[in-house]
Chains A and B, each alone.
Chain A
Amino acid sequence: MKLNILAFGITKDILGAAEKEIVVMEGISVGQLSHILETDFPQLKQLKSFFIAVNEEYAEGDRIIESSDEIALIPPVSGG
């Protein structure tokens, strides 16, 4: 299935775009997606932290992703 991934902050620089479409297997979990992205973009592993949000909420690693989900990469935040 195709996923459209939103990237923010430093992850936008690492992916080279604010949005990226990738093709993954059906039934993929957040943890598996994270692993695939870290393999494709090793600089993600050098971050202090790296979370994936699903539908505007922080997601646990065992969460299963649907093709209609909004996926976003959340590098260390620095607001305030």
Chain B
Amino acid sequence: MIDIRITADKLDITDCLALTEDPRSGGNAIFIGNVRDMTNGERVLRLEFECYKPMAINEIRKIAEAAIAQFSVRNVVVHHRIGILYPTDVAVIIVVNAGHRDKVFDACRYIIDTTKQRVPIWKKEIFENGAEWVAAHP
């Protein structure tokens, strides 16, 4: 099972766990990414996320399918929030499960790392004195 959501609404880990509930799965790995309040010593007031939604959903689906094929996991949920987020807000939740625990850690890490490399979602950090698109410049 694969469930992908990109939404401006608050993310809910309980929803994600309900979606992956599976009597054949004995191990679950969860990654939760939330907004930090500092970047390189500068206070972050908020993040503004935007995305190219149809392509972002396609890319996340490819990543989830690759994770299932490569690590033999059973279920993958990726929920990503967009819009304006403040420190401590949850930006992404990934839940992966499988029959046994060994592969779920690797699959979960693969999904978040590849999401950060390929999925067309962008965030702008808003500081007290300015703003910057994250990772845009070398």
* Residues in A lying within 8 Å of B, measured CB to CB: 6, 8-10, 13, 46-48, 53, 56-58, 72, 74-80
Contact = CB atoms under 8 A, between A and B. Distances in A.
A80 B116 contact: yes
B52 A78 contact: no
A10 B55 contact: no
Contacts of A48: 135-138
Please tell me the size bucket of the interface on B: 20 to 34
A72 B121 contact: no
Contacts of B135: 48, 76-78
B133 A9 contact: yes
B115 interface: yes
B138 to A, nearest CB: 5
A72 B91 CA distance: 24
Nearest to A48: B138
B129 interface: no
Given A8-B120, A8-B122, A53-B120, A79 B55 contact: no
A64 B123 CA distance: 30
Interface string B86-112: 000001100000000000000000001
Contacts of A58: 118
B136 A79 contact: no
B96 to A, nearest CB: 15
A56 B55 CA distance: 5
A80 B92 CA distance: 6
Interface string B40-69: 000000000111101110100000000000
Contacts of A77: 116-122, 135
Nearest to B113: A80
A63 to B, nearest CB: 15
Given A77-B116, A80-B112, A80-B115, A53 B136 contact: no
B56 to A, nearest CB: 8
B55 A72 contact: yes
Contacts of A13: 133
A11 B136 CA distance: 9
A71 to B, nearest CB: 11
